[in-house]
């Protein structure tokens, strides 16, 4: 029941054309403005000032008025769209046109791909069989070790190994360049070392005496990134600041250049041979890594995926996978038999400068500018084992080459750290360099270690028996 002299809201008389408000709008206009503000199309009005200005010009209205700021300029555009139906039609038409262009661009992006060459297809067919055979042999060896595993012998072996590692000593040192040495690698027979320097030169050195055997001055224009031997030790690949990958034959330590592999647009920082020895992978500051055929000198694959410069890479021992990493702080594992990215390694907070695979095949280590070494088990998807390795940049990482029983890292703190390959505990620290260490490598046969860096020296280390 309605009280005496009262009226309902519906009975109120509203004169829509009278009484302008403080903004100069009457009731009708104010209601229209309110309804428009509820219209979802208002969300389509651009918020970026550049787009607001572009829309005003499209409507033949002043791009900007005196004293108008970004907020009031957008409000003016909204008021114009509110007051003029033709303006709204022009505005909506421009949105439809822009959306159509974006859809066409997306369709072009989706349809764009580079078909594999016949050379790459043949290489992948070979790599499938090659890596499968190696994986079978590796797994057979692991099964045999598991069958005949003796815990007492294993404990004794680990104690002996730990004692030997604790007694690694400096055997010799040789100044090998006029500028910092960026890469040093043992030949497969451990008799020679290949050395690359920031002065652009390449050298071979006797692993025993550290005497220089052969030298190519200015092999690259600018810094040498990395050097690597093929599996037979008669071919050396190098990458440099000039964007080139170069091949050298090596006979009795003597170097002779035989090929330039051209394609990278910027510095080549990483360079590794595939375990088979015919294929080479290179990592570049052009944000790509590439796969080359060392027999034909042809580029087989250009692989994108990293957001920044690619600094390092390494092949898994079976030859089926490659891990690339770089300045985007991310590692990526690629199945080179298919070209697919199998796994992304995210965890470092600063660039990754070195990567290496354990001979066990399922572990990969990454060394970073954040001072850590991450050990990734690719059979799992959880977080890596994080080693708080160095006080500054970790520049190099290497697994022992037979069974991965220990791991070594080097860094800008001038130290080489040695870790157990099972518990990842730090066993010892090797000191001897007087400046930042940039590279290290482990021998295949006799437990030798070499390192090099800013002090321009190559140092040889071994177990003190």
Do 95 and 173 reside in the same domain of the chain? no
Do 366 and 420 reside in the same domain of the chain? yes
pLDDT of amino acid 65: 87
Q: Coil, helix or strand for 295?
A: coil
Do 168 and 102 reside in the same domain of the chain? no
Q: Which residues contact 345 (CB under 8 A, 6 or more apart)?
A: 323, 325, 330, 331, 332, 333, 364, 366, 374, 376, 384
Q: Would 274 be classed as within a structural domain?
A: yes
| H-helix or E-strand spanning residue 291 | strand 289-293
Give residue 33's pLDDT band: very low, low, confident or very high (50, 70, 90): low
- Averaged over 156-181, what is the pLDDT? 90
Q: Which residues contact 179 (CB under 8 A, 6 or more apart)?
A: 197, 198, 199, 456
For 63, the domain range is: 26-106
pLDDT of amino acid 109: 46
Domain's final residue, options 106, 141, 174: 106
- Averaged over 38-67, what is the pLDDT? 78
In angstroms, the CA 332 to CA 326 distance is 9
Tens-digit pLDDT profile for residues 347-386: 899 999 999 999 999 999 999 999 999 999 998 866 899 9
Give residue 110's pLDDT band: very low, low, confident or very high (50, 70, 90): very low
Do 89 and 139 reside in the same domain of the chain? no
8-12, 37-41, 93-97, range with the lowest pLDDT: 8-12
Do 323 and 262 reside in the same domain of the chain? yes
Tens-digit pLDDT profile for residues 314-350: 999 999 999 999 999 999 999 999 989 999 999 899 9
Structure tokens given for 129? 């069989």
CATH number, residue 190: 2.130.10.10
Q: Helices then strands (H, E): number in the chain? A: 6, 28
In angstroms, the CA 247 to CA 257 distance is 6
In angstroms, the CA 297 to CA 313 distance is 20
Q: Would 1 be classed as within a structural domain?
A: no
Do 207 and 246 reside in the same domain of the chain? yes
Do 133 and 236 reside in the same domain of the chain? yes
pLDDT of amino acid 112: 43
Q: Would 17 be classed as within a structural domain?
A: no
- Averaged over 287-303, what is the pLDDT? 95
Structure tokens given for 153? 């012998």
Domain's final residue, options 106, 136, 156: 106
Q: Would 2 be classed as within a structural domain?
A: no
Structure tokens given for 106? 């997306």
Do 272 and 175 reside in the same domain of the chain? yes
Q: Would 88 be classed as within a structural domain?
A: yes
- 94 alpha-carbon distance from chain centroid: 40
Tens-digit pLDDT profile for residues 222-252: 999 999 999 999 999 999 999 999 999 998 7
Query: What's the pTM value of the predicted model, to 2 decimals?
Result: 0.75
Domain's final residue, options 106, 128, 157: 106
Do 142 and 239 reside in the same domain of the chain? yes
Do 291 and 433 reside in the same domain of the chain? yes
In angstroms, the CA 247 to CA 420 distance is 36
Do 68 and 160 reside in the same domain of the chain? no
- What are the strands of the beta sheet with 254-261, ordered from one edge? 224-229, 235-240, 245-251, 254-261
Q: Would 7 be classed as within a structural domain?
A: no
Q: Would 20 be classed as within a structural domain?
A: no
What average pLDDT does the structure give for the chain? 87
pLDDT exceeds cutoff 70 at 9: no
Quickly list H helices, 148-246.
151-166
- Asked if 219 and 201 touch (Cβ cutoff 8 Å), the reply is yes
Rounded (5°) CA angle 70-74-80 = 145
Do 77 and 207 reside in the same domain of the chain? no
Q: Would 323 be classed as within a structural domain?
A: yes
- Asked if 243 and 220 touch (Cβ cutoff 8 Å), the reply is no
Count of domains in the chain?
A: 2
In angstroms, the CA 398 to CA 406 distance is 9
β-bridge partners, 249:
235, 256
Residue 366 — φ and ψ, nearest 5°? -125, 140
């Amino acid at each position: 029941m309605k009280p005496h002299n009262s009226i309902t809201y519906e009975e109120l008389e509203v004169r829509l054309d009278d009484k302008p408000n403080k903004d100069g709008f009457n009731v009708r206009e104010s209601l229209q403005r309110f309804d428009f503000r509820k219209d979802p199309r208002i969300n389509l009005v651009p918020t970026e000032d550049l787009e607001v200005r572009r829309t005003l010009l499209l409507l033949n209205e002043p791009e900007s008025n005196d004293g108008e700021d970004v907020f009031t300029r957008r409000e003016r555009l909204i008021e114009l769209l509110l007051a003029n139906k033709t303006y709204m039609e022009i505005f909506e038409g421009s949105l439809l046109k822009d959306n159509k262009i974006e859809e066409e661009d997306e369709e072009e992006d989706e349809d764009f791909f580079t078909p594999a060459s016949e050379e790459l297809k043949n290489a992948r067919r070979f790599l499938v069989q090659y890596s499968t055979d190696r994986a079978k042999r590796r797994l057979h060896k692991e099964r045999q070790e598991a069958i005949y595993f003796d815990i007492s012998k294993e404990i004794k072996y680990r104690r002996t190994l730990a004692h030997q590692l604790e007694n690694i000593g400096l055997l010799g040192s040789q100044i090998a360049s006029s500028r910092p040495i960026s890469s040093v690698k043992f030949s497969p027979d451990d008799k020679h070392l290949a050395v690359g320097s920031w002065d652009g030169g390449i050298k071979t050195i006797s692993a025993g005496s550290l005497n220089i055997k052969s030298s190519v001055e200015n092999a690259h224009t600018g810094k040498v990134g990395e050097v690597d031997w093929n599996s037979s030790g008669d071919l050396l690949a190098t990458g440099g600041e000039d964007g080139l990958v170069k091949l050298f034959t090596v006979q009795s330590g003597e170097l002779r250049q035989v090929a330039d592999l051209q394609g990278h647009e910027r510095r080549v920082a990483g360079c590794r041979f595939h375990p088979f020895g015919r294929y080479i992978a290179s990592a570049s500051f052009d944000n790509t890594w590439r796969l080359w055929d060392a027999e034909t000198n042809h580029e087989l694959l250009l692989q994108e995926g990293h957001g920044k410069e690619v600094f390092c890479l390494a092949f898994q021992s079976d030859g089926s996978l490659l891990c690339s990493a770089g300045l985007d702080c991310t590692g990526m594992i690629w199945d080179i038999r298919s070209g697919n990215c199998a796994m992304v390694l995210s965890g470092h907070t600063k660039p990754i400068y070195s990567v290496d695979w354990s001979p066990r095949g399922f572990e990969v280590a990454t060394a970073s500018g954040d001072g850590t070494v991450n050990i990734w088990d690719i059979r799992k998807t959880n977080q890596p084992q994080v080693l708080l390795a160095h006080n500054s940049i970790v520049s190099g990482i290497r697994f022992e080459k037979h069974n991965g029983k220990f791991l070594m890292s080097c860094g800008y703190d001038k130290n080489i750290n040695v870790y157990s390959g099972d518990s990842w505990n730090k066993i010892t620290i090797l000191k001897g360099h007087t400046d930042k260490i940039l590279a290290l490598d482990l021998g295949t046969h006799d437990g030798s270690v070499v390192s090099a860096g800013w002090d321009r020296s190559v140092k040889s280390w071994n177990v003190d028996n």
